[in-house]
Structure 1
Amino acid sequence: MGIDLPLTWAIIIGFGLMMYVIMDGFDLGVGILFPFVTDRAERDTMVNSIAPVWDGNETWLVLGGAAMFAAFPLAYSLLLSALYLPLMAMLAGLIWRGVSFEFRFKATELRKPFWDKAFASGSYVAAFSQGIALGAFINGFAIDGEVFVGGSLDCITPFSVFTGLGVVVAYALLGSTWVVMKTSDDLQRRMRDLSVWISIALLAAIVIVSVWTPLGHPQILARWFTPSNLIYFAPVPLLVLVATWLQLRLLQKRDPGAGPFVLSLLIIFLGYSGLAISMWPNIIPPAITIWEAAAPPESAGFALVGTLFVLPFVLMYTTWSYYVFRGKTRQGEEYH
């Protein structure tokens, strides 16, 4: 029995995108939280907490894009055509944020506020653009055969704007709970208080999207609420509620440690799982499956060999970097 190459590649790409969301999500979240922290030393501490790992986190975005090009060229071309505006805005935000990240450490006191604003604005643009793309993906695309026939602004809808805001809130929760885990004293206390409100806001956003999506898409409604499927899929929303409740309880503690951050990762993963359940097996909604969009077996198999060789090394150096830079980030410690 041969390997199902499209399914294998779908798992790899799904894993890569999930890793990007949960890992780059928290350092984007740190930038999103900048407007809520005015003290310069505390802002420096927040940035120092992500300084050793932030650029490595974006490796997973590169992996997802390259794998899509290699394994699903049809999906790659259609998605780029349909999501051109939000993807270009996302890249612009990530570039602007990356430049500001380095420049703010070298800037004079006169220029530093400018780069602080650049870091925050780049984070907001990147996160919101990703949410716009997510909402447009859920809504589906105007496809005629293998050609996108919609307009460049089709991705901008009330639903996609709301999912854009939802992604900003989700990344803010990842960022605030990351700072709770990595800091102490007044900054940690402020982030604990802020995390409570962000956690409640994210739960509300998840509930709204969970109601809005099936109401607007009968096929997703049938997927979730068929009696046989409901039994299997019900644990996903129930676990979201339980995780949020546990997180709110832990945030009442003086030093909750890694618990709130781990629960944030779990909530994001459950949301990601819900998206996979709703969309499967379509890679181009509403009707192009992973098997229909797959590359020829020869090229997909060739690329898979290289990917399976490289992927363990990416996982190893990522794990090692987080292990080396574990522990609290103290105020006054500097990034070089």
Structure 2
Amino acid sequence: MNWQEALPVIFMSLMGLAMFVYVVLDGYDLGVGLLLPRASDAQKDVMIASIGPFWDANETWLVLGVGILLIAFPRAHGLVLTALYFPVALMLIGLILRGVAFDFRVKAHDSHKPLWNRVFFIGSGIASIAQGWMLGRYITGFADGLPYTLFAAAIALALPATYVLHGACWLIMKTEGPLQQLAVRWAKIAWPPMVVGMALISIATPWVSPTVRGKWFVLPEFIALLPIPLTTAAALIGLRALLNSHRVAGPDGGKLCWLPFVLLLGVFLFGALGLAYSLYPFVVMDQLTAWQAASATKSLEFILVGCAITVPAIAGYTVFSYRVFSGKARDLEYA
């Protein structure tokens, strides 16, 4: 593979990385938003405080991923955004509602906080469902027909359950006391629908996509790829077992309170690797490869210089912010 052929693959990898990091980072705060109605008023304040320093910056990775799609793969950008115009609009509405609710909630009078709590929950739900629908439509290459619609609907329902589990694991790591114990119960409740949804989607994906079926269910690829589902299953089982341990949520805050979150990150990582293998070399499944959709080589070279500056800067800030605000969450206060 020469430099001209490698450039589209580099940008496809950068776009995939940006979207993966977005799901990992913004997924837990969407999950916290979905869990908000189940907590007391005092617990809601701590839950919001746990995501306060991060949630806005987390969405930078979504902007980066969409930006790479626009400038590096303009043909794919037009096709994807045309097919997903309505769910993208819904997702943006949800994210806007979350932003407005977050800023107004921390400054509102106590009597108005329930309103902004509901708005934050509604925005989180809209964004989560819209993202699930978009993922389902994208995997099938925007094919028409009832099976493809049902597949997208299944992912639209499964993704919020995944985010709820993600948010609960985040709260286990970032809180202590009764709220941490409550987060463990939330995680136990969210675990079964998330696992069932993931299993059904894993079975349905090869059925709705002949391309995926042809890449996974042939020898020797099938044997070589077995570690992905097996490791994912082991991580999910280990996560569920940990939720029964006092070392995850105990009087001292739980010495292993970070481990459920890390195991779930492993599940996301192997899921992303499986999805990347299924999609490659297509930017749009069965329609456009990375080379067909890419901008001119000179344009990609120029864009790569910008990415070489921007991506490390965003990654560096992300790491810095998580180091600065590590530890258990406290009530969010404004001077």
Name the TM-score class by shorter chain: over 0.9
Q: Is the 8 A contact 1:48 1:333 kept in 2?
A: yes
- Residue 197 of structure 1 pairs with residue 155 of structure 2: no
Per-residue deviation, residues 194-232 of structure 1 (Å, max 9, x unmatched): 112212221111110011111122221121110111112
Aligned to 1:32: 34
Write the distance in 2 (CA, Å) between the matches of 1:335 and 1:262.
31
Counterpart mapping for 1:252-267 below 5 A: 252-254=244-246, 255=254, 256-267=256-267
Per-residue deviation, residues 57-113 of structure 1 (Å, max 9, x unmatched): 011011011111111000111101000011110011001111001111111122111
Alignment-mate amino acid for residue 279 of structure 1: L
Counterpart mapping for 1:155-304 below 5 A: 157-254=149-246, 255=254, 256-304=256-304
| Distance of aligned partners of 1:85 and 1:154 in 2 relative to their CA distance in 1, 3 Å threshold | farther
Question: Secondary structure of 1:113's partner?
Answer: helix
Aligned to 2:136: 135
| Distance of aligned partners of 1:283 and 1:291 in 2 relative to their CA distance in 1, 3 Å threshold | same
Q: Is the 8 A contact 2:52 2:332 kept in 1?
A: no
| Distance of aligned partners of 1:297 and 1:29 in 2 relative to their CA distance in 1, 3 Å threshold | same
Alignment-mate amino acid for residue 35 of structure 1: P
After superposing on structure 2, the runs of 4+ consecutive aligned residues of structure 1 that deviate more than 4 Å are: 153-156
Give the root-mean-square deviation of aligned CA atoms: 1.7
Write the distance in 2 (CA, Å) between the matches of 1:157 and 1:113.
35
Aligned to 2:251: none
Q: Is the 8 A contact 1:82 1:155 kept in 2?
A: no
Alpha-carbon distance, 1:155 to partner: 11
Write the distance in 1 (CA, Å) between the matches of 2:301 and 2:93.
33
Aligned residues: 325
| TM-score for the superposition, normalised by structure 1 | 0.93
Aligned to 1:71: 72
Alignment-mate amino acid for residue 325 of structure 2: F
Identity %: 38
Alignment-mate amino acid for residue 213 of structure 2: L
Write the distance in 1 (CA, Å) between the matches of 2:290 and 2:257.
41
Alpha-carbon distance, 1:333 to partner: 4.9
Write the distance in 2 (CA, Å) between the matches of 1:261 and 1:231.
29
Q: Equivalent of 1:20, from 17, 22, 37?
A: 22
Q: Is the 8 A contact 1:132 1:155 kept in 2?
A: no
- Residue 58 of structure 1 pairs with residue 59 of structure 2: yes
Write the distance in 1 (CA, Å) between the matches of 2:46 and 2:279.
40
Question: Secondary structure of 1:107's partner?
Answer: coil
Alpha-carbon distance, 1:250 to partner: 1.5
Question: Secondary structure of 2:283's partner?
Answer: strand
Alpha-carbon distance, 1:327 to partner: 0.3
Write the distance in 2 (CA, Å) between the matches of 1:198 and 1:268.
16
| TM-score for the superposition, normalised by structure 2 | 0.93
* Farther-moved stretch of structure 1 (41-50 vs 3-12): 3-12
Per-residue deviation, residues 138-191 of structure 1 (Å, max 9, x unmatched): 12136xxxxxxx8xx999821111101111111111110000000011110011
- Residue 319 of structure 1 pairs with residue 319 of structure 2: yes
Alpha-carbon distance, 1:334 to partner: 2.7
Write the distance in 1 (CA, Å) between the matches of 2:310 and 2:139.
31
Write the distance in 1 (CA, Å) between the matches of 2:191 and 2:124.
19
Write the distance in 2 (CA, Å) between the matches of 1:237 and 1:189.
30
Alpha-carbon distance, 1:251 to partner: 1.3
Write the distance in 1 (CA, Å) between the matches of 2:72 and 2:147.
24
Aligned to 1:146: none
Aligned to 2:45: 44
Counterpart mapping for 1:69-108 below 5 A: 69-108=70-109
Alignment-mate amino acid for residue 203 of structure 2: V
Per-residue deviation, residues 271-323 of structure 1 (Å, max 9, x unmatched): 22221122211111223111111111011110111111121111111101000
Alignment-mate amino acid for residue 8 of structure 1: I
Write the distance in 2 (CA, Å) between the matches of 1:244 and 1:156.
27
Unmatched segments (≥5 aa) in structure 1: 143-149
Alpha-carbon distance, 1:2 to partner: 2.4
Write the distance in 2 (CA, Å) between the matches of 1:300 and 1:243.
38
Unmatched segments (≥5 aa) in structure 2: 247-253
Write the distance in 1 (CA, Å) between the matches of 2:304 and 2:46.
41
Write the distance in 2 (CA, Å) between the matches of 1:176 and 1:236.
24
- Residue 334 of structure 1 pairs with residue 326 of structure 2: no
Write the distance in 1 (CA, Å) between the matches of 2:210 and 2:279.
12
Alignment-mate amino acid for residue 32 of structure 1: L
Aligned to 1:8: 10
